[in-house]
Amino acid sequence: MHRAKAVARVIPAPRFALIEISRLRGHEQTRPTLLRELTEQIRRDGVLKRPILVADRDFVILDGHHRVEALRALGCKRVSVYLVDYDSDLVILRTWPDAGVPVVTKQDVIRRGLSNDLFPPKTTRHTLASPPEERPTDLELLK
């Protein structure tokens, strides 16, 4: 009797890239006060500290809506991102405790991003099972 070999499941790693901000699609709104504070911090630092997390097929922003809008306000045309296979087990989706929406699926996120029917601010919380490095990016590279 032969035993079937277990097949190791390969989870694709996030891919770092600089892409045009105009290609990105948000799935939730931003908070004006937080956006103003973050815009000023990024302007002061001259650096985007962490890349945005983006679904690789649809270019829907998973994490980083405020950072994208802050860069846009600063006149940047590009943004540093980690592109991820959203269907993979690498991406973990939860909701924030005060989200007001008890359950959100990955399909909901993509649908809202593609239709511009945005969730309220801080509804979804996307994390990666294996967090990538921070990779600070100078603002001059993003202009």
- Residues marked active site are found at 28
Long-range (24+ apart) CB contacts under 8 A made by 62-67 are 62/27, 62/86, 62/91, 62/109, 62/124, 62/126, 63/125, 63/126, 63/127, 65/26, 65/28, 65/29, 65/30, 65/121, 66/30, 66/31, 66/34, 66/35, 66/38, 67/38, 67/42
